Structure 1
């Protein structure tokens, strides 16, 4: 079995993988990274992403991004950069598709609320939860819990980690995927993992503009002083003046140009970094600073765009109202199932009953709630309280 495109010397090579936690024979027609990707795509957690919030709650409109469509867009952006850099596209795709598997319902609002509920029990981090999904919570195989993914895919999933959680993982997996959060001599993950982290930011900056304008909450004037958007908007309208009468089309054209500019910037900047540091293998990359990056100028533009989206979209009163209600849902569900653990589905109730400590019991409750979709969480909240906390939908600008 070989990759269809030649890998660069610094790329992750599945044939040199650090392997799976439980040894398995490789497939005859797929690389181990392809196999990881396929396991992720067929997982229950991946399917549930279609009903999990990105920015706008699922009930607010059928055209807004969800965690699933976001993950697909991240994979597309990442693969567009991986090929010209000679990185392993299958590993990149596996990491991109799995990076949000642990996200709660209701996006960051749900994550923040669940973290508050778990404050006395170790807190909640969605990257750690994504790792729990692929290491433990998926129950699809006869010989092991989780998906038994390769080290390299799991390393990419764990893109952020507190020192406390890193020490816990390190204790269970010495020298494993959490070591880089504890050892200054190993500051970086693989290039494929670095790429997916940056592709995540590139994708959501672009699609949040699209969804924000579509919702009517974000307006062209608010982006006029943001060069990463306004530069390509002006160029698009100068080249295609007829699009002034077709705002949806000039928006799409602008976002395509904006995405392309960022992708080419990452490719060129990363090539320059690779030429300077000249890593002679994937392990050498882990001893170097992050190499997959924007140029300084593009980084500053991306930061400015993110700040604008934060101020005008993520903090918009309409968004904050719905996210505030979402937090109420999560808090109510946690309080109920913490007291009534036997009411969780049998597999979770059994785990809670077998848990030795309150910390472990709370983690089971968090696993159950984090795995909910938006609509399941809302239906469960309504069943438990008798009240419907969210109604209606935003008007989508079509």
Structure 2
């Protein structure tokens, strides 16, 4: 098929130059290898479950608030647009954006931190490493292999979109899921990832912070006057209110978020073009081996991004209403983990396969896989069935 690689920059990931898949397969007659990766992710059960996994609010808190699925779709749109403007492979950037949260637990970071603590004696837990585990092992759809058998470039981006993974301090070794997979395939952990992966990472920042402004304001966790202390956001509110003095609250918020996303994207494009002009990469390996990211925010926008994060942390993520939700989520995950670890026979039959017995490391990993794959609703339902003595224990649930 025509992959249109002639339109890509010299430093883009080109389908015909892919390092291939762990398990050989015939190429698709209608899609490039990265388009095929994207489609496999979209059809994965783990991707569907993102609809019922929290972004910040627990899923049942309200239908309006963002979930991991809507967040992933928003990141993919931003990443695809940036990649296209820079003549990178928009399909790979989109694929990585759609895959970046597949390993997230129920209840967002609250569930993740709980599993990290509980798994500390058993090799730890890391959501990026769990994403790799999902796409290489836990998705079981194909007759010839476990996982989705994605291309090397997609797996590299899933693992390294935040930068190289070697050089970790002894106190924080490589996540065991990555060490385990590296026995089968070398993902070049000591280098940066492709430009497409770097773009997916910065697009995640753009989407996450701006849409938390939206959700936080609509949830009443802070007010427009509160967030004016973040200079570039406050200036944008002033501009919008001056131009549209009679605009209602909802449209005002949307207009501000739309503009701040636009400013960040324009900054990424300008800064990345400057870095590329200085570095003059001639191949994707030049991007990987450059020694620092070639795609990202300017210093000024990075400062704005930090200020926004510094505002959101106490005013949203540590708001007492979210602290209550976080406390409940931690208890649910802890209760489930400790019960399944001590009594693995209480897990569904298909999850008992491969467990060695109560309390051992292999069983702990299976338990972590099971819990990490749960939606918010599934985790709450399992907790109710197992810890509420009046609840029926045989209720049917796909999770």
TM-score by length of 1: 0.92
Structure 2 residue aligned with 1:233: 237
Structure 2 residue aligned with 1:19: 20
1:97 aligns to what SS in structure 2?
helix
| Among candidates 213, 223, 228, match of residue 224 of structure 1 | 228
In the TM superposition, 1:73-152 aligns within 5 A as 73-152=74-153
Aligned equivalents of 1:172, 1:276: Cα separation in 2? 37
Gaps of 5+ in 2: 166-171, 391-399
Task: Work out whether residues 222 and 315 of structure 2, in 8 Å CA contact, stay in contact via their aligned partners in 1.
Answer: yes
Query: How much has 1:357 moved relative to structure 2?
Result: 9.2
Query: How much has 1:344 moved relative to structure 2?
Result: 1.5
Structure 1 residue aligned with 2:328: 325
Structure 2 residue aligned with 1:337: 340
Query: How much has 1:384 moved relative to structure 2?
Result: 1.0
Query: How much has 1:200 moved relative to structure 2?
Result: 0.4
Task: Give the number of equivalent residue pairs.
Answer: 378
Q: Note closer, same or farther for the CA distance 1:192–1:171 as it changes in structure 2 (3 Å cut).
A: closer
Aligned equivalents of 1:213, 1:115: Cα separation in 2? 30
Q: Note closer, same or farther for the CA distance 1:261–1:334 as it changes in structure 2 (3 Å cut).
A: same
1:241 aligns to what SS in structure 2?
coil
Q: Deviations over 1:277-296 (max 9, x none)?
A: 01101111111110111111
Query: How much has 1:79 moved relative to structure 2?
Result: 1.0
Task: Work out whether residues 78 and 93 of structure 1, in 8 Å CA contact, stay in contact via their aligned partners in 2.
Answer: yes
Q: Deviations over 1:144-185 (max 9, x none)?
A: 0000001111111113555433772475046x22x33xx3xx
Q: Deviations over 1:103-146 (max 9, x none)?
A: 00000000000111111001110000000000000000000000
Task: Work out whether residues 34 and 151 of structure 2, in 8 Å CA contact, stay in contact via their aligned partners in 1.
Answer: yes
Structure 1 residue aligned with 2:261: 259
Task: Work out whether residues 53 and 67 of structure 2, in 8 Å CA contact, stay in contact via their aligned partners in 1.
Answer: yes
Aligned equivalents of 1:164, 1:143: Cα separation in 2? 29
Aligned equivalents of 2:224, 2:139: Cα separation in 1? 43
| Root-mean-square deviation (Å) | 1.8
Query: How much has 1:4 moved relative to structure 2?
Result: 4.9
1:351 aligns with 2:362: no
Query: How much has 1:347 moved relative to structure 2?
Result: 2.2
Aligned equivalents of 2:107, 2:130: Cα separation in 1? 15
Task: Work out whether residues 104 and 130 of structure 2, in 8 Å CA contact, stay in contact via their aligned partners in 1.
Answer: yes
1:165 aligns with 2:175: yes
Task: Work out whether residues 228 and 302 of structure 1, in 8 Å CA contact, stay in contact via their aligned partners in 2.
Answer: no
Query: How much has 1:242 moved relative to structure 2?
Result: 2.2
Q: Note closer, same or farther for the CA distance 1:164–1:110 as it changes in structure 2 (3 Å cut).
A: same
Q: Note closer, same or farther for the CA distance 1:283–1:163 as it changes in structure 2 (3 Å cut).
A: farther
Structure 1 residue aligned with 2:393: none
Aligned equivalents of 1:349, 1:169: Cα separation in 2? 21
Q: Note closer, same or farther for the CA distance 1:56–1:18 as it changes in structure 2 (3 Å cut).
A: same
1:164 aligns to what SS in structure 2?
coil
